[in-house]
A and B are shown apart, each in its own frame.
Chain A
Amino acid sequence: MTAAFPATAPTPPKPITSGKDPRFAPTLYAHVGQPESWTLGYYRRHGGYEALERAFGMGADAVIDEVKQSGLRGRGGAGFATGLKWSFMPLNDGKPHYIICNADESEPGSFKDRYLLSEDPHQLIEGMLIAGYAMRASVGYIYIRGEYVHAAERLQVAIDEARAAGLLGKNVLNSGIDFQLHLHRGAGAYICGEETALMNSLEGLRANPRLKPPFPAAAGLYGLPTTINNVETFCAATQILKFGAEWHAGMGTEKSKGMKLFQVSGPVARPGVYELPLGTTFRELIYDWAGGPLEEMKAIIPGGSSCPLMRWDDKTLDTPMDYESIAAGGSMLGTGGVTVIPRADCIVNATWNMVRFYGHESCGKCTPCREGISSWMTRMYEKLVRGHGQPGDVQLILDMSENIGGRSFCALADACLGPVLSSIELFREEYDSLAQLQTPTYPPRNRWKDV
């Protein structure tokens, strides 16, 4: 991708809801893949840290207003309005505030932050500086997934570079603002993506989610007001401050504004990360950008493994990818990690793969997740897939799910139920075949040989 930065902020009369719209150009991923894109020199040559200076010129409250006006919503999965979240911070209480970047990208099917972190780290640093300035936070933490070794190294170099250049530390760019940024590598736990578990982990404690309320904005890291955002959200904030709220609000649909990084995985011609405006259809993403499916498909996971499956049909493919439209279709936009599941793959086996993941990642704090997901659900799936199914097993899984759903401490158990319940609903006949005949509708295959 070699798209240049737009010279001026465009003011579109009609919202951009397609990547093919000539007015659209990638910004978040504009420099991914460029030589030396992770260096401060490159970043500065391409307009880096201008947004920060613009933010300093506006004043902190105006920055929050700008983000509010842009319509930016959290890109980590929940889609909460970012500007509103920032304004929840008790801004002038005199206490130290923290901001945290959640770079613990561990959801199966999501891999957008990885390249932001390793290829364009200064974009994130600038975004955190802006957010820290807006929320009167003088310390920021980046909690990066432990497996992202390369990204962590690049990011650390970038932080050191920025600090040497006076962009971090005391008196950033002679503005009188202090901002320290620390990088913390996780130790490989999905639960650390949950904001309060992440804070526990950062404090050196066991990564168990905390009781809410108090919410992080009231008592977060070390008991002090804290705001936690996804990598992409901070990067989007950089672009908003660079091109203006109107530019951002000119993309997407009425309630889902701006651009989003969509990831495509599964047997498509060009799996990968695509930056597109919100409201782009699945069809455009999969056929026009990812090159189309390589075989017959039956399901789409729209936003990472915790989102309920959607049937592969014209209705789904023509669904615009924004928070509301996907919710209306019975699923969630989530992280935008689109996974396509081929017709010839056993859906029970595929779901087992996800259930196993959640069972393995359950923190063990609450009963329904520890016993229900980790101990029981995984074994129910193993039993089915391995050909030991019995009539009534599917009904048992459904009843168990009812006892788990909404009863657990945090959302991890509910996340596991997303694929479980939707796959049973959509592909009940495949479950019944395993439960009653002990034979899969689609036998296992060696993907690397068969495809």
Chain B
Amino acid sequence: MKVHVDGVELELPAGTSAIDAVFEAGGDVPYFCAHKYLSPVGACRMCLVETGSPRKEKDGSFVLDDATGQPKIFWFPKPMASCTMQATEGMHIKSARSSEVVAKAQAGMMEFTLLNHPLDCPTCDKGGACELQDRAFEYGYGASRFGFDRRHADKHYPLSDFIILDQERCIHCKRCVRYFEEVPGQEVLDFIERGGHTFIDTEEGGLPTGFQGNIADICPVGALLDNVARFRGRNWEYDHTPTTCTLCSVGCSITVDARNGRLERIVARENREVNEAWICDAGRFGHAFASERRLTVPLVRVDGELQEASWDVAIAAIRAGMTRHNATDLALYLNADSTLEEGVALEALADAVGSPHVDHWPRYEVSLDAMPNGAATLSDVATADAVVVIGADLGEEAPILELRILEMLRGGLLPPEYAHGTAIADLRLVERPARKPEKLAVIGKETRLWQHAGIRASSNGHNALERLSRPDTAELQAALKLLTDSEKVIIILGADVLNGASGSFAAQLSELATRTGAKVLAIPAGANSKGLAALNLVPREGGLPFARVADAPAAFISRLDPGVRARGLTIVHDSHLTATARLADVVLPAVTNYEKRGTTVNLEGRLLELEQAALSAGEAADLIRTLTAVSEALGVRAPVRGLKSAQALAEQKLGLRLGELPERGVIHAFRSSHVAPTEQTHVPHLWTERMQPSIQTLIPANLQPLPMLGAAPVGGDD
């Protein structure tokens, strides 16, 4: 399809909107109401362009211009909203670049948009990152001719604990209303009143938890604001660090905004393949722990009391403590949200000292890496014909997966992609989309997803799969029929069935997948369980799993909080003084996942990069650096001494390339060969106490907040 934009001819796929045609031609159109992942509505009227099309005679030939002999272009008598207009063969589009009419229309529209906007940019959190501000600068008159009082309304109207609405700033683009209706499928917000009195409000007060924070991201002005980050900094003061969220195994792309060494805000970053443009509320608002009550120096137990010490003193204390143990007795445990590089470093140390007690937590015993039909991706889920969810509470295990399932229910229309990025206006998306609940079966406990599912079967524990294979109720029969009859079908498995599942479970699942042609997506227990399992970070022959840490002769526990100590020397590596840390002999300060560089593997097997945000955490160090220190105390040469060597080792072990990954990550087929019992049940729980903006539970009564020192370099090169 050939389209002419401002006199430039370009080739576009059919179905392209006029606004995308202009952007594809390298031009620019201002817009407020359009959003990449929402239906176009044409409400803000900013994206006006002039369009004209050739007409055909009855015989199918084009009406020709007498003067030029070319097809004559019939221009629309008025400018059209380009976000709701489809470009057609031979269409001519004029943006403000080549049309005075369009330039004036856009400037006039900007004047209207700013009419009742308070222009309190100096006190607005959006200032500096505001679409209205930018567009007013680029396309506005520079002055308003409106000589009357502006609309006055509530400037501090809390829609919920997390979202605060400034009704004066709202420009009525309706993105937030459409977001709730179209993405999480919740009809909670709408316009109230009409005309110049129109305002946004909820019907019954409060917003549903789960995904409400996204409306602060998509608001083109400072009307909907993240209450956790409100008034914490200006946009140009923040250090913006693009990284990956490791709260769950989805691995959403996020930007961490830090100011003066404090983590103040997290916003979503677009990743078409993973989280599109959305993140969950836990991932967005649950960052308080990163800047509050951090451990900044090592603590060493002296005369029964933990006392602040230097790293040298701490290393000496470990060396002294280890004199009572064999190096092979030291159990090494790490949190499953640790990076691949950290996992490699831990494994290498275990190899060096010969300890069989290695484990990551949380994890499941069973390995489902080798399922027939290949691994399912999140985009597969969104475009599937049917999805069967078994034993999963997605809200706690993988919230964004829930959104991708809802995307599948409303048609699974992934927006087209152009050179300028994701389509700004995907004309196939409609307001209040019809959902097809019959495409979703949920087997398990009653969760938030139930209300969207056409087939619902109660089930408990991991015999759900067995019951599905031999259905004993009408619901299970319907679910099995959905699996068998649908072309592209995905089975999603959660904690309820994966806890305690064994090899026979895997065989049964494999058989079901083969029979139905389904792809399997098992939600890993921890953010990087899939990657760490591929490194075989599980107890070796005679090793103790993490559940039996209390039986270990000596233990090094990285960012895990079992609440017990090992029999002998207990070294805790954590960012906070947890219950376990308080029992430890040596406590080493750890950085959070916001402050490290490395690679994580999400539930699809996608490698995603973590970047280091500029947070101040005193002398806290990541696991690689900490293990170097522990090696020194153990008197062995650390096999991994930095990020680069960890990556080299991981590449060697896994047969893949790390570092400099593309922004969307790379899918890799992981295979974990070792299986070891966990002896413990994993209860997925996304929002933990320490994520609350005030973490009283983590403050010991007698401990004063430690002074923040300069950030230590983390994961330095060799």
| Residue positions of A touching B, CB distance < 8 A | 189, 191, 205-206, 208, 210-211, 223, 359-376, 379, 383, 396, 399-400, 402-409
Contacts and interface: CB of A to CB of B under 8 A. Distances in A.
Contacts of A376: 112, 115, 146, 148
30 contacts: A206-B190, A206-B191, A211-B40, A360-B195, A364-B172, A364-B191, A366-B42, A366-B43, A366-B45, A367-B172, A368-B109, A368-B112, A369-B195, A370-B112, A370-B195, A371-B113, A373-B195, A374-B195, A374-B196, A383-B148, A396-B145, A403-B104, A403-B111, A406-B77, A406-B78, A407-B45, A407-B79, A408-B45, A409-B42, A409-B43
B109 A375 contact: no
B307 to A, nearest CB: 64
A367 B151 CA distance: 14
Contacts of B44: 366-367
A405 B112 CA distance: 13
Contacts of A405: 78
B198 interface: yes
B194 interface: yes
B249 to A, nearest CB: 38
Contacts of A368: 45, 109, 112
Query: When A and B form their complex, which 7 residue pairs have the shortest distance between CB atoms, in order from nearest?
Result: A403-B108, A406-B78, A364-B198, A374-B195, A374-B196, A371-B112, A362-B195
A359 B195 contact: yes
A373 to B, nearest CB: 8
B58 interface: no
Contacts of A408: 45
Nearest to B111: A403
Interface string B15-50: 000000000000000000000000011111110100
A95 to B, nearest CB: 14
B148 A367 contact: no
Given A211-B84, A364-B195, A409-B43, 9 more contacts: A191-B194, A359-B195, A363-B194, A366-B44, A367-B45, A370-B195, A400-B108, A403-B104, A407-B105
A370 B117 CA distance: 13
B171 interface: yes
A367 B105 contact: no
Nearest to B193: A364
Interface residues of B, number: 40
A370 B171 CA distance: 10
Nearest to B40: A211
Interface string B103-130: 0110011011101100000000000000
B116 A371 contact: yes
Contacts of B112: 367-368, 370-372, 376, 403-404
B434 interface: yes
A189 B194 contact: yes
A191 B379 CA distance: 41
Interface core residue of B40, B45, B111, B148 (most chain A CB under 10 Å): B45
A211 B116 CA distance: 25
Contacts of A396: 145
B172 A375 contact: no
B109 A364 contact: no
B575 to A, nearest CB: 48
A189 B194 CA distance: 10
Contacts of A206: 190-191
Contacts of A210: 431
B191 A375 contact: no
Given A211-B84, A371-B113, A407-B79, A364 B434 contact: no
Nearest to A369: B195
Interface core residue of B40, B42, B79, B111 (most chain A CB under 10 Å): B111
A426 B28 CA distance: 40
A407 B48 contact: yes
Nearest to A405: B78
B35 to A, nearest CB: 15
Contacts of B197: 364
Nearest to A362: B195
Interface in B401-446: 431-432, 434
Contacts of B196: 359, 362, 364, 370-371, 374-375
Contacts of B434: 223
A408 B81 CA distance: 9
A129 B119 CA distance: 56
Contacts of B432: 205
Given A206-B190, A403-B108, A367 B43 contact: yes
B100 to A, nearest CB: 12
A367 B46 contact: yes
Contacts of A379: 148
B424 to A, nearest CB: 16
